[in-house]
Amino acid sequence: DAKTTQPTSMDCAEGRAANLPCNHSTISGNEYVYWYRQIHSQGPQYIIHGLKNNETNEMASLIITEDRKSSTLILPHATLRDTAVYYCIVRVGGATNKLIFGTGTLLAVQP
């Protein structure tokens, strides 16, 4: 699976959009980009995933560059409850589907 690079930490003001970048320059054509988050003392929570096109759901938007070498997770109106570690993972769908979590980005939403 392709390696991902994320900033260690980011701050965001409450009510503003949080833009979390992820670099995956070695991504293969059949690898998806998945985003998860882990709130303190809880299990990770799936947020969104995509292959080529931008995706949006009730939680967030995922913007994937045309060359697919990087992506951005957008939380449109961050709240204090969005404070968490956000993980970007690239993965080929397959029989195992095992997810290897890196260090992620600690997003701190400030009041």
User: Which residues of the shown chain bind other proteins in the complex (CB under 8 A)?
Assistant: 32, 34, 36, 38, 41-46, 49, 89, 91, 93, 95-104
55-56, strands of its sheet edge to edge: 18-23, 70-75, 61-64, 55-56
**Of 14 and 38, which CB lies nearer to other proteins in the complex structure?**
38
**Concatenated DSSP letters of 28-67:** -TTEEEEEEEE-TTS--EEEEEESSS-EE-SS-EEEE-TT
| Interatomic CA distance for residues 61 and 77, integer angstroms | 11
**Of 21 and 49, which CB lies nearer to other proteins in the complex structure?**
49
With CA atoms as reference, report the closest residue to 10 among 82, 77, 107, 110: 107
Q: Report in angstroms how near the CB of residue 8 gets to other proteins at its nearest.
A: 12
Q: How many helices (H) and strands (E) does the chain have?
A: 0, 9
**Of 16 and 56, which CB lies nearer to other proteins in the complex structure?**
56
Q: Report in angstroms how near the CB of residue 14 gets to other proteins at its nearest.
A: 26
Q: Report in angstroms how near the CB of residue 3 gets to other proteins at its nearest.
A: 14
Q: Report in angstroms how near the CB of residue 15 gets to other proteins at its nearest.
A: 29
**Of 41 and 53, which CB lies nearer to other proteins in the complex structure?**
41
